[in-house]
Structure 1
Amino acid sequence: MSETDWMYKDYQITQAIDIHRRMVIFGECRSDDKPTAFLCGYYEPLLLKDAYSEIQTGRYLEMMELFLQRVQGQIDKVRTEQQEMDVPLDIITQEMCDPYQQNKNLCGQMIAIEPIWFRPEERIAPKQIGYVMADKTPSKDSLVYKRLYDGLSKSCSYGYILGVIKPEHQPDWAKEAIRNLQKNAKMRKGEAR
């Protein structure tokens, strides 16, 4: 939880908890002496304009109770998402990786991204593990990888890489995902001929 100093209309946002890509906010209208001068809602920073939603106002205790319910709701969403993952969630550590060498081609390697670069609730192996598809992108300071759990294409700077995962620490589900990627790539090459 973090104390903030930003405003929403006449309300100073005094508390905010950022979880599951959404921030639950609590505010107080300090220029108003009404007992209903408290606010609870959601906040999402967007590129062009900040988004506030489900804003409610009321008495302190009811808004604080709503705030806690909404935080619990966000926690429940994370818990449900993680329970639906059918793979171990254990984090990949430095000891489980070989350091990468910047002049070495990482293409075709299973890498782990430093967990610190993820949101706290996403610091789990399925979010960390990737398969390098392209090393040395046009910027020459980053690479492109497929996140093995869900197949999403991502890019990152070399400074985000924890290392190349040692064979004995490569999860079976990740090895299977790589086999599927390679099999699909061969099929596409065969179709192109």
Structure 2
Amino acid sequence: MLETDWMYKDYQITQAIDIQGRMVILGECQSEDRPAEFLCGYYEPLLLEDVYSEIQTGRYLEIMELFLQRVQGQIDKVRAEQQEMDVPLDVITREMCLPYQENENLRGQMIAIDPMVFRPADCIGPKQIGYVIADQTPSKNSMIFRRLYDGREMCCSYGDILGVVKPEYQPDWAKEAVKSIQKSEIIRKGDTR
């Protein structure tokens, strides 16, 4: 939970809980004509502009109850997502990885992203493990990888990775995903000949 001091209209946002990229916010009215009014809503910091949604105002107890319901709702969404994963959620640690050399080509390697770069609800093994598909992107300090659990392509800097996952710590589901990616790469190469 974050204690904050930013404003939304006449409300000072005093609490914000970030669960899965969406903050549940609680605010207190700073206007003298509404001294006992509180606010509850959602806040999402986006690239072009911040988005506030589902804003409700009212007395302290009803808004606090709504705040707690919304936090519980976000927790339930994260829990449901993790239960659907049906794979071990154990976090990959630095000790489970081989260190990499700065000039080493990591393309085709199974890497683990440092869990500290994720939001707390996303610090689980399936969201850490990726397969490097493009090393040394134009910035020369980042790479593109495919997250093995869901196939999502992402970019990260070298400083964000723990290293190459040691074979004995590579989960079976991740090994299968790598085989599938490599098979697709072979088929694509054959189609371009």
Normalization by structure 2: what TM-score?
A: 0.96
Q: Which residue of 2 aligns with 1:9?
A: 9
The alignment covers a number of residue pairs equal to 193
Whole-angstrom CA distance in 2 between matches of 1:117 and 1:27 = 28
Q: Which runs of 5+ in 2 are unaligned?
A: none
Contact 1:36 1:57 in 2 (8 A): no
Paired letter, 2:149: Y
Q: Distance in 1 between matches of 2:131 and 2:86?
A: 19
AA of the residue aligned to 1:13? I
CA contact 2:126–2:148 (8 Å) conserved in 1? yes
Contact 2:25 2:43 survives alignment (8 Å) = yes
Q: Aligned with 1:108: secondary structure?
A: coil
Query: Deviation per CA, 1:129-148, whole angstroms, max 9, x where unpaired?
Result: 01111211121111111111
Determine the C-alpha separation between the residues in 1 that align with 2:160 and 2:99: 12
CA offsets 1:6-38 (integer angstroms, 9 cap, x no match): 111111111111111101011111323547511
RMSD of equivalent CA atoms = 1.3
User: In the TM superposition, what whole-angstrom CA distance separates every residue of 1:82-138 from its partner, at most 9, and x where no partner exists?
Assistant: 000021100001111111111221111111011100111101111100111121112
Provide the secondary structure at the position in 1 that maps to 2:3.
coil
Give the TM-score normalised by structure 1.
0.96
Q: Distance in 2 between matches of 1:144 and 1:184?
A: 17
- The whole-number CA distance in structure 2 between the counterparts of 1:91 and 1:106 is 21
Q: CA deviation at 1:2?
A: 1.4
Name the amino acid aligned to 1:90.
Answer: D
How far apart in 2 are the matches of 1:32 and 1:18?
30
Amino acid at match of 2:116: I
